[in-house]
């Protein structure tokens, strides 16, 4: 038994190192976008695979059915089963597609946008048609994403079928913690409406995400891009009577729109420069273009930066990350699915998919690396100081996404994609355990008010699944997160670039912080003596779904409102089943498919373009980590860092919990260090910065313009001109005063003028 395990471990390390080495060998000598693009195999049109379209249609059908369930007020779990069924079939289709597709294929579904005016003008026809059809581009990168998006969606829908039960029984959300609002809520309760609405949103999300990943052109990617944004808006604002949820939803959508603007502008530029928006054609165009493409003026070089803006918005990177922590207002399955596992990785997908464009400017990838590295660090520091476990997970998501961008930036798209894949499983598992805790403890999420869960009967599954997730997130050796994170860390030292060494150390330090805050949660919540307080409605506006639990507690006799007779209800089959599947997946994601598998998936797609561009195998610019080969030494260093972080967490949060409070108190007590915990707990005041620097000026400008519009443009100009006739009339009014003398004077004056004019004309004529 033990030997088997050891063998497994050894082979895993071998597989992972193989993957890393494979990554280096793959792009040998590839230096430019053109070379990179040439390496991408042209896609084959595959009409026989048209059934793959059902991967998109099934979620749409499910969304429509759930919508109808909401409209007809269907009670029961019908919407959940429809969703789980449709997504389950879609998952099977994804696996079938994986079996059928080898190289890139395109599958045309139907015409969407196709303008062609080349017949009306002479000459060059490039750039005279705009084609973006509903078509699929399936290559290994697509499949890599689809293989976790759809199955995870199915699992989480299954989980939600139990989790969202309270919404099935009583209608729309009350929330807002204010019972007065509930009382005035004169609208009839619509049984099951919320439940169906939830699943409609999830289905819609799966459709949009699949379109984003599978689309064969940038416009379809944009469709999915905005579509997931809308689904996310709908689901964050699921508890729509709660102002904080509405605000969070709005914030998410608008922040994303800023990113979307970048993506849209990039799409325009790509079309302007390359005359197409379809990936396959684009790769061909890039391959055929002359090699000095990289100096094609700003309109070419701006492309990667605009794409980056889009990616940073969707994947919550600096400076656009502030929406993601607030997005935790949504129900927890949504947080797990959309805001941890799938949607937020769309930015990574975008960059991986359009990797050849990122070689158009030499500063593009370093920018990605720096933004990723700094975001990872900043979010980790914020995560350390939060008390809400869901929020800690949210900041950890931001931080891990930063790692992925760092990976992309230091030219290991393999590492980035690998981390996306593993992160999807372990972060989903972590969120779902948080959700289960929240579900069972009436919305309690404060890690100071929960302790020793693993000793409570019925909570063992949750506790150990959480442990599995934490181990992966912390990067403890031989978990999936360990291998994927190492691939990124090592590459940061290997690839030469501006400050990459520094980023490598920063990332290493961040990895230590990650291990610390992750196990801070686990040691606090799951270990230690048994102690818990249930959440309550007035628990605070920042948390998700207290409302329903409060009501639940009030109506169900077995739920008292007080801690001493409060019995947490342990999760049942659906939740536990999903948790176990995810935990197993998270822990062994590296054994079954292995790093080599992910590597092969990435290297056969556009994400492999130009990776790595340093040709380090020849020894030239091979970076090092303190004189050692990073790929070798990183396995030991990062393991040490992770264990150190866990040890510190264990000291402060398991063995000597008072020490943590003492430390905080002493930091706060000292004027010189007070700023540190304050700033960290207040999220470095980034939100406030946005309000003061962007929102307030625009709001003032809006008021100013509204004022100007009313009083200057409309009032002074328009009404002023309109008043002119009246003013003129007033001016001449005295003339018509009926006094004879006045008329006589006017007449005489008129005659005089006429005479003067005649004389003047006569003189002019005479002069000529």
Check binding of 356 to another protein (CB under 8 A).
no
Q: Which of 152, 202, 293, 336 binds another protein (CB under 8 A)?
A: 293
Alpha helices in 164-297, H assignment, sequence order: 165-169, 179-184, 193-214, 218-236, 243-274, 279-288
Contact segment (CB under 8 A) with another protein among 5-13, 296-304, 531-539, 661-669 equals: 296-304
Contact 470, 463 (CB under 8 A): no
Number of Cβ within 10 Å of residue 738's Cβ equals 6
What lies within 8 Å, CB to CB, of 644 at 6+ separation is: 512, 515
Residues 704-763 that bind another protein (CB under 8 A): 705-706, 709, 713-714, 717-718, 722
Contact positions with another protein (CB under 8 A) in 525-584: none
Rounded CA separation 140/152 (Å): 18
Please give the Cα distance from 634 to 508 (Å, whole number).
10
Closer to another protein by CB, 260 or 446: give it: 260
Which member of 6, 125, 748, 758 binds another protein (CB under 8 A)? 125
Binding to another protein (CB under 8 A) within 233-262 occurs at: 233-234, 237, 240-243, 246-247, 249-250, 253-254, 257-258, 260-261
Of residues 207 through 236, those in contact with another protein by CB under 8 A are: 219, 222-223, 225-227, 230, 233-234
Kindly state whether residue 358 participates in binding another protein, applying the rule CB under 8 A: no
| Residue whose CB is less far from another protein, 211 or 453 | 211
Closer Cβ to another protein, 331 or 594, answer by number? 331
Minimum distance of another protein from residue 84's CB (angstroms): 24
**Strand 44-45 relative to strand 105-116, pairing:** parallel
**Interface residue with another protein, options 288, 728, 739, 753 (CB under 8 A):** 288
Segment (H or E) for 107:
strand 105-116
Q: Which is nearer to another protein, 125 or 531 (CB)?
A: 125
Does the CA dihedral 529-535-540-546 come out positive or negative? positive
569/558 Cα distance (integer angstroms)? 9
Look-up of token digits 């059908």: 61
In the complex, minimum distance from the CB of residue 547 to another protein, in angstroms, rounded to a whole number: 11
Residues 73-112 that bind another protein (CB under 8 A): 73, 111-112
Q: Which is nearer to another protein, 68 or 633 (CB)?
A: 68
Q: Which residue in the set 71, 554, 693, 739 belongs to the binding site for another protein (CB under 8 A)?
A: 71
Q: Compute the least distance from the CB of residue 606 to another protein, in Å.
A: 16
CB of 690 to another protein, least distance (A): 13
Instruction: Name which of 159 and 238 has its Cβ closer to another protein.
Output: 238
Judged by CB under 8 A, which of 63, 285, 432, 570 binds another protein? 285
Residue 247 or 580: which CB sits closer to another protein? Answer: 247
Specify the residue, 105 or 143, whose C-beta has the smaller distance to another protein: 105
- Other beta carbons less than 10 A from residue 395's beta carbon: 25
User: Of 2, 184, 626, 727, which one interacts with another protein (CB under 8 A)?
Assistant: 184
Give the nearer residue to another protein in terms of CB position, either 310 or 415: 310
Whose Cβ is closer to another protein: residue 127's or residue 499's?
127
Q: Which of 29, 188, 529, 671 binds another protein (CB under 8 A)?
A: 188
Contact between 358 and 368 under an 8 Å Cβ cutoff? The reply is yes
Figure out which of the listed residues 29, 47, 121, 457 binds another protein, where binding follows CB under 8 A. Answer: 121
Take residue 581 and report the two structure tokens written for it: 């599947």
Stretch that binds another protein, among 190-198, 316-324, 384-392, 502-510 (CB under 8 A): 190-198
Nearer to another protein, 180 or 573 (CB): 180
| Residue 694 touching another protein (CB under 8 A) | no
Q: Least Å distance between CB 501 and another protein? A: 35
Binding of another protein by 114 (CB under 8 A): yes
Q: Which of 29, 47, 99, 186 binds another protein (CB under 8 A)?
A: 186
633 prior amide bond cis, ω within 30: no
If the CB atoms of residues 224 and 534 are measured against another protein, the closer one turns out to be 224
Per CB under 8 A, does 35 bind another protein?
no
Contact 250, 166 (CB under 8 A): no
Quick check: 65 binds another protein (CB under 8 A)? no
Radius of gyration of the chain (CA): 32
Q: Whole-number minimum distance, CB 101 to another protein, in Å?
A: 22
Work out how close the CB of 163 gets to another protein at its nearest, in angstroms, rounded to a whole number: 22
Q: Least Å distance between CB 143 and another protein?
A: 24
Size of the site for another protein (CB under 8 A): 102
Answer for the pair 650, 523: CB distance below 8 angstroms, yes or no.
Answer: yes
Please state the three-class secondary structure of 440-480 as a single string: HCCCCCECCCEECHHHCCCCHHHHHHHHHHHHHHHCCCCCH
Burial letters for 543-561: b for 16+ Cβ neighbours within 10 Å, e otherwise?
bbbbbbbbbbbeeeeebee
The answer to whether residues 43 and 605 touch, using CB atoms and an 8 Å cutoff, is: no
| CB 26, min distance to another protein, A | 26
Query: CA of 325: how far to CAs of 58, 187, 252, 678, 717, in Å?
Result: 31, 32, 10, 18, 48
DSSP 3-state percent helix, strand, coil across the chain (nearest 5): 75, 5, 25
How many CB atoms lie under 10 A from the CB of residue 127?
Answer: 13
384 closest CA partner among 559, 216, 519: 519
Q: Quick one: which of 26, 58, 146, 264 contacts another protein (CB under 8 A)?
A: 264
* Distance from C-alpha of 14 to C-alpha of 6, rounded to nearest angstrom: 12
Neighbours of 14 (CB within 10 A): 13
Residues 128-147 that bind another protein (CB under 8 A): 128-131, 133-134
Distance CA 376, CA 469 (A): 18
Interface positions, 313-342, toward another protein (CB under 8 A): none
357-380: burial string, b at 16+ Cβ within 10 Å, e else? bbbbbeebbbbbbbbbbbbbbbbb
């Amino acid at each position: 038994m033990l030997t088997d395990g050891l063998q497994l471990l050894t082979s895993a390390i071998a597989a992972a190192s193989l993957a890393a080495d494979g990554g280096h060998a793959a792009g040998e000598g590839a230096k430019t976008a053109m070379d990179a693009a040439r390496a991408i195999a042209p896609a084959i049109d595959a009409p026989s695979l048209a059934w793959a379209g059902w991967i998109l249609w099934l979620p749409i059908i499910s969304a429509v059915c759930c919508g109808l369930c909401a409209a007809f007020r269907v009670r029961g779990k019908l919407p959940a089963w429809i969703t789980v069924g449709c997504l389950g079939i879609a998952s099977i289709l994804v696996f079938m597609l994986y079996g059928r597709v080898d190289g890139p294929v395109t599958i045309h579904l139907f015409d969407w946008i196709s303008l062609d005016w080349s017949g009306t003008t002479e000459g060059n026809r490039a750039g005279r048609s705009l084609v973006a059809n509903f078509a699929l581009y399936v290559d290994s990168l697509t499949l890599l994403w689809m293989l976790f998006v759809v199955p995870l969606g199915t699992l989480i829908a299954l989980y939600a079928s139990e989790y969202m039960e309270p919404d099935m029984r009583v209608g729309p959300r009350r929330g807002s913690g204010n019972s007065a609002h509930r009382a005035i809520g004169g609208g009839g309760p619509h049984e099951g409406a919320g439940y169906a609405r939830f699943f409609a949103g999830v289905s819609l999300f799966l459709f949009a995400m699949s379109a984003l990943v599978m689309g064969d052109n940038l416009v379809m990617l944009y469709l999915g891009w905005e579509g997931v944004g809308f689904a996310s808006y709908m689901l964050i604002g699921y508890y729509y009577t709660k102002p904080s949820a509405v605000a969070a939803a709005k914030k998410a959508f608008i922040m994303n729109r800023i990113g979307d603007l970048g993506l849209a502008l990039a799409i325009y530029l790509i079309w302007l420069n390359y005359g197409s928006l379809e990936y396959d054609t684009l790769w061909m165009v890039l391959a055929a273009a002359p090699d000095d493409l990289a100096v094609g003026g700003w309109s070419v070089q701006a492309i990667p930066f605009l794409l980056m803006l889009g990616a940073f918005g969707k994947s919550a990177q600096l400076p656009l990350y502030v929406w993601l922590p607030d997005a935790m207002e949504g129900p927890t399955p949504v947080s797990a699915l959309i805001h941890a596992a799938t949607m937020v990785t769309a930015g990574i997908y975008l960059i991986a998919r359009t990797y050849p464009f990122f070689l158009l400017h030499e500063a593009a990838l370093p920018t990605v690396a720096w933004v990723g590295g700094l975001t990872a660090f900043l979010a980790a520091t914020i995560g350390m100081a939060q008390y809400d476990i869901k929020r800690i997970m949210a900041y950890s998501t931001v931080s891990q996404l930063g790692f992925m961008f760092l990976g992309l930036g230091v030219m290991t798209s393999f590492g980035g994609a690998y981390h996306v894949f593993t992160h999807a499983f372990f972060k989903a598992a972590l969120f779902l355990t948080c959700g289960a805790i929240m579900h069972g403890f009436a919305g309690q999420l404060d890690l100071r008010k929960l302790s020793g869960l693993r000793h409570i009967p019925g909570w063992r599954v949750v506790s150990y699944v959480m442990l599995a997730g934490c181990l992966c997130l912390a990067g403890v050796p031989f978990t999936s997160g360990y291998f994927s994170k190492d691939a990124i860390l090592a590459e940061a030292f290997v690839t030469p670039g501006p400050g990459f060494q520094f980023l490598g150390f920063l990332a290493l330090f961040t990895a230590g912080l990650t291990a610390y805050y992750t196990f801070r949660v686990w040691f606090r919540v799951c270990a230690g003596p048994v102690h818990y307080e249930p959440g309550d409605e007035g628990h605070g506006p920042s948390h998700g779904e207290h409302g329903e639990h409060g009501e639940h507690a009030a109506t169900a006799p077995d739920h008292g409102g007080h801690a001493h007779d409060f019995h947490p209800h342990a999760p049942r089959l659906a939740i536990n089943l999903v948790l176990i599947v995810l935990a197993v997946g998270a822990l062994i994601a590296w054994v079954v498919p292995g790093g080599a598998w992910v590597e092969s998936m990435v290297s056969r797609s556009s994400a492999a373009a130009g990776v790595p561009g340093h040709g380090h195998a020849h020894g030239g610019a091979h970076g090092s980590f303190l004189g050692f080969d990073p790929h070798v030494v990183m396995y030991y260093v990062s393991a040490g860092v992770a264990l150190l972080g866990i040890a510190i967490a264990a000291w402060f949060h398991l063995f000597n919990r008072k020490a943590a409070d003492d430390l905080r108190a002493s930091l706060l007590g000292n004027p010189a260090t007070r700023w540190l915990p304050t700033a960290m707990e207040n999220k470095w005041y980034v939100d406030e910065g946005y309000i003061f620097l962007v929102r307030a000026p625009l709001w003032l400008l809006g008021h100013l313009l509204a004022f100007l519009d009313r009083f200057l443009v409309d009032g002074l100009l328009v009404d002023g001109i309109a008043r002119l006739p009246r003013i003129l009339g007033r001016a001449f009014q005295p003339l018509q005063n009926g006094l004879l003398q006045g008329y006589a004077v006017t007449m005489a004056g008129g005659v005089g003028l006429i005479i003067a004019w005649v004389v003047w004309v006569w003189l002019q004529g005479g002069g000529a």
